[in-house]
């Protein structure tokens, strides 16, 4: 089981680690689905020593039938991480604008790529600033890293595997989008509304609040109430695999490091019109 200290770091603890001879590598992954790019926020102010890494272009592949944020090509990811100074075996801390979604996807991507020593700054940039810790506009020039990307260190689901998990008598596929999107009442991004038949809705605010996670026991209680059994498979999806990566992080905190991410998520599911779509408040079949 991975404890919070292995997955999350609080601002003052991170500040102390940065003030050592071997500070962790800092990645600023601030991102918005719509609106100004995260790089603009980075230019205004960031943690000292942090390197900006773009979620859309560096940590994900090009959008298409595989989804809006598909898996990156390993060679391209390796080049991006090395350019940001990521070194083999050296700790990395990722942070975003506070909701924890982009940072969780960055955490997940590095872990999937075989880099285990990565944590998320709990509360992101706002928590750091609220603690009165220093920020800067200086852009560092990191020494090139030597990390090697070895894909597959975390489990993933494709559409067929997601469908089988959703239909299984044991196991659960969590849809962590807002309830109106799950029910098919609205779909602001993708061309079809609804959910994967059999998937259970657990909107993200039910297990994370403003980018901060409750204690492991509370997380286990919430996931159990959604049908997550201790000895049965569990996977998660959202619109494009960003919010769902945060669900996988929460599941790790709750003691489920085997939780799988449907990376393509709904944007991949609806790319094939032959795939069935369920609507309404119940999982459907």
Q: Would you give the DSSP letter of residue 206? A: G
Q: Which residues pair with 120 in a beta bridge?
A: 8, 94
Rounded Cα distance between 174 and 278, Å, is 14
Of the residues 27, 147, 165, 238, only one is catalytic, namely 238
Angle, nearest 10°, between helix axes 216-225 and 243-253? 120
Active site residue 238: yes
Q: Look at residues 10, 46, 142 and name the one whose alpha carbon lies nearest to residue 85.
A: 142
CA distances from 1 to 17, 34, 90, 202 (A): 24, 35, 21, 22
Contacts of 124 (CB under 8 A, 6+ apart): 30, 95, 96, 97, 98, 99, 100, 103, 211
Cα 253 off chain centre by = 13
Angle, nearest 10°, between helix axes 243-253 and 101-112? 70
Positions annotated as catalytic residues are 238
């Amino acid at each position: 089981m991975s404890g919070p200290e292995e997955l999350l770091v609080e601002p003052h603890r991170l500040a102390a680690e940065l003030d050592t001879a071997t500070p962790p590598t800092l990645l600023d992954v601030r991102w918005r689905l719509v609106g100004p790019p995260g790089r603009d926020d980075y230019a205004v102010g960031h943690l000292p020593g942090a390197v900006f890494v773009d979620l859309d272009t560096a940590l994900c592949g090009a959008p298409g039938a595989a989804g809006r944020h598909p898996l990156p090509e390993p060679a391209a990811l390796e080049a991006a991480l090395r350019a940001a100074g990521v070194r083999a075996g050296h700790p990395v801390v990722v942070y975003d604008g506070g909701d924890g979604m982009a940072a969780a996807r960055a955490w997940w991507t590095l872990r999937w790529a075989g880099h285990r020593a990565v944590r998320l700054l709990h509360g992101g940039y706002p928590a750091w600033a609220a603690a009165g810790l220093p920020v800067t506009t200086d852009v560092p020039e990191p020494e090139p890293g030597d990390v090697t990307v070895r894909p597959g260190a975390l489990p993933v689901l494709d559409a067929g595997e997601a469908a089988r998990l959703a239909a299984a008598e044991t196991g659960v596929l969590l849809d962590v989008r807002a309830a109106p999107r799950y029910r098919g009442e609205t779909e602001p991004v993708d061309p079809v509304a609804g959910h994967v038949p059999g998937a259970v809705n657990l909107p993200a605010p039910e297990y994370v609040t403003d980018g901060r996670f409750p204690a492991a026991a509370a997380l286990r209680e919430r996931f159990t109430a959604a049908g997550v059994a201790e000895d049965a498979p569990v996977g998660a999806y959202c619109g494009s695999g960003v919010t769902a990566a945060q669900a996988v992080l929460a599941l790790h905190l709750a003691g489920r490091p085997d939780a799988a991410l449907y990376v393509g998520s709904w944007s991949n599911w609806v790319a094939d019109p032959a795939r069935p779509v369920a609507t309404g408040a119940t999982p459907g079949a």
